[in-house]
Amino acid sequence: MNSAGIGSNEDLAARIASVDWYHTVDLGNGVVTPGHYDHRNYLDLYGLPESLSEKTALDLGAASGFFSFELERRGAKVTATDLPEWYDHDFGPNYSIEQDQETLQNYLREPFEIARQALGADVEKKFINIYDVSPETVGIHDFVFCGSLLIHLTDPIKALRNIASVTGDKAIIATVITEDDPDRPFAYMTGYDQGDSFWVPTRSCLELMAASSGFAGVEWHSDFRLDYSDGSPGPYHGVIHAYKKESGWSDKTISSEAMIEQQRDKNSDAALAGDARQRELDQLKNENARLRDQVAAFEQRKFIRLTRRLRGK
């Protein structure tokens, strides 16, 4: 029923049902895999190039392969990466899960392979940690995609530097962000809980992380809530487009140098505002001290006058 010769619809259905799927993947002929997330309705929010013909593309942390196969459908020669072993994740000491090692390893590898065979895809899969990604290990690619990976890393800055090092032209990077204070460059630390997710940045923090990691320009593309396939509310996501060269920019792209300088100005303004506020507080403290001294002196004079009157009696 397909170019890879998986066999009958029944055989394919049995293989699909035998594993847990991160992505919903349309395998054609009316066969659609289950998945924790169905990205089909969100695809436009990522801003993938319409055509990647004669381009190389790298999908980092490919999971079940939805984006790998989509990039190939758009004409790219695709390389996908995933961890060699499940426990190569940056899990903290509080991490625990009920599944056995074999089940977890199947979750990491089998869905992608089933989909690849069913689609007859030519995507090459490499098992490598994001911290080991470099031009020497995976090559340099025209286009790089990284979706929902940074949230699971203790060191997202190192990961972004590695991503920049293997990006020839452009990278699209998506991760969980907070809707709070989008103009302030900070990140919430969540890794104290279960230990499988760690940093949730603001919009400006994510932009600055990319700008300081070796990209020439960065633009904000979109932000949205990525709900689960069953319709329950999912995590809020932000998507940036990061350029390695000073070409192909849109009117929304800001040079990394300018973005960093803008943040320096904001920090300087905030510092000045903080200094002004501190001066106001110091003035208030001084005024309060002066008033306390005046009240104390007044009360002292009242006491002296009262004592004199009592003595006069």
Instruction: Return the CATH number of the domain spanning residue range 9-252.
Output: 3.40.50.150
For residue 310, pLDDT beyond 70: no
pLDDT of residue 243: 98
Confidence at residue 2, expressed as pLDDT on a 0 to 100 scale? 41
| b/e map 224-243, b = 16+ CB within 10 Å | eebeeeeeeebbebbbbbbb
pTM for this model (two decimals): 0.83
Residue 279 has pLDDT above 90, yes or no: no
275 pLDDT band (50/70/90 cuts)?
low
Percentage of residues in the chain with pLDDT exceeding 90? 74
Q: Which residue has the higher pLDDT, 7 or 235?
A: 235
Q: What is the pLDDT of residues 72-91, one digit of tens each?
A: 999 999 999 999 999 999 99
121-176 pLDDT tens trace: 999 999 999 999 999 999 999 999 999 999 999 999 999 999 999 999 999 999 99
pLDDT category of residue 300 using cuts at 50, 70 and 90: low
Residue 67 has pLDDT above 60, yes or no: yes
Does 11 have pLDDT greater than 90? Answer: no
Other CB atoms within 10 A of residue 149 CB: 20
